[in-house]
Protein backbone atom coordinates (compact mmCIF):
# COMPACT_ATOMS: atom_id res chain seq x y z
CA UNK A 1 0.00 0.00 0.00
CA UNK A 2 1.06 3.55 -0.66
CA UNK A 3 -0.39 7.04 -0.90
CA UNK A 4 -1.41 7.58 -4.54
CA UNK A 5 -1.70 10.57 -6.85
CA UNK A 6 -5.24 11.89 -7.30
CA UNK A 7 -5.28 11.52 -11.09
CA UNK A 8 -4.62 7.77 -11.08
CA UNK A 9 -6.97 7.03 -8.17
CA UNK A 10 -9.78 9.16 -9.65
CA UNK A 11 -9.66 7.29 -12.97
CA UNK A 12 -9.63 3.85 -11.29
CA UNK A 13 -12.65 4.75 -9.11
CA UNK A 14 -14.59 6.19 -12.06
CA UNK A 15 -14.04 3.04 -14.11
CA UNK A 16 -14.73 0.41 -11.43
CA UNK A 17 -16.86 1.83 -8.58
CA UNK A 18 -20.64 1.38 -8.72
CA UNK A 19 -21.24 5.07 -7.92
CA UNK A 20 -19.21 6.21 -10.93
CA UNK A 21 -17.93 9.29 -9.13
CA UNK A 22 -15.06 10.22 -6.86
CA UNK A 23 -15.69 11.62 -3.35
CA UNK A 24 -13.98 14.64 -1.78
CA UNK A 25 -10.85 12.86 -0.60
CA UNK A 26 -8.65 13.79 2.35
CA UNK A 27 -6.31 10.82 1.87
CA UNK A 28 -6.18 8.00 -0.66
CA UNK A 29 -4.19 4.81 -0.30
CA UNK A 30 -3.51 2.58 -3.30
CA UNK A 31 -3.42 -1.20 -3.29
CA UNK A 32 -0.85 -2.54 -5.74
CA UNK A 33 -0.28 -6.00 -7.24
CA UNK A 34 3.25 -7.00 -8.16
CA UNK A 35 3.82 -10.18 -10.12
CA UNK A 36 7.21 -11.31 -11.35
CA UNK A 37 9.37 -8.62 -12.89
CA UNK A 38 6.47 -6.51 -14.22
CA UNK A 39 5.93 -3.10 -12.59
CA UNK A 40 3.38 -2.97 -9.78
CA UNK A 41 -0.18 -2.29 -10.99
CA UNK A 42 -2.72 -0.19 -9.11
CA UNK A 43 -5.66 -2.57 -8.44
CA UNK A 44 -7.61 -0.77 -5.70
CA UNK A 45 -7.98 2.48 -3.79
CA UNK A 46 -9.03 3.21 -0.22
CA UNK A 47 -10.43 6.74 -0.05
CA UNK A 48 -10.80 8.54 3.29
CA UNK A 49 -13.32 11.31 2.85
CA UNK A 50 -15.17 13.95 4.84
CA UNK A 51 -16.90 12.84 6.98
CA UNK A 52 -14.88 9.69 7.56
Q: Write down the domain spans for the chain.
A: 2-49
Give the strand order in the sheet containing 25-33. Answer: 2-3, 25-33, 41-49
pTM above 0.75, yes or no: no
Parts of the chain with a pLDDT under 70? 1, 5-6, 52
State how far the alpha carbon of 16 is from the alpha carbons of 21, 27, 29, 38, in Å.
10, 19, 16, 22
Q: What pairs with residue 28 in β-bridges?
A: 47
Which pLDDT value is given to residue 1?
Answer: 64
Amino acid sequence: MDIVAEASERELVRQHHYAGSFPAARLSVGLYRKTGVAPAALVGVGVFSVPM
